[in-house]
Structure 1
């Protein structure tokens, strides 16, 4: 056993930073975010937001996502039909 490491308390796990949102239908949401720097574009970042698994926030996001995936399936139109 190494000296000094066995008695050291472990640091508590940190939650990722979060933002609170108020949606007109599902109410308040807290979404955690992570920011990733892009190696080939240091002035740009990829930001990912997510809800805690099993939380009411996740349930609200799933509800909103279900509306998005089923909203007016027959109404998708191409802006320019010449583009394929």
Structure 2
């Protein structure tokens, strides 16, 4: 399966934030895991913060910090709870 990841990453240091909206939304488990791994590697390599929108709790659990929004209102901030 081909996943066009190039648009996800700005391969230059100095671009401090990358925004992703459901980057694993239509992927199977294996490809979702690969995308998350690539995002984490890019974050470290290019010294970037990744801001990701997801409805997938297992993906959210891989994040350093989580903001939970419900009906447009911030309802939780911190680590993902099971």
Same-fold call, TM > 0.5?
no
TM-score range, shorter chain: under 0.3
For normalisation by structure 1, the TM-score amounts to 0.25
Higher-RCO chain (CA-CA 8 Å, sequence separation at least 6) = 2
For normalisation by structure 2, the TM-score amounts to 0.26
Q: Which has the higher helix share?
A: 2
Q: Which has the higher strand share?
A: 1
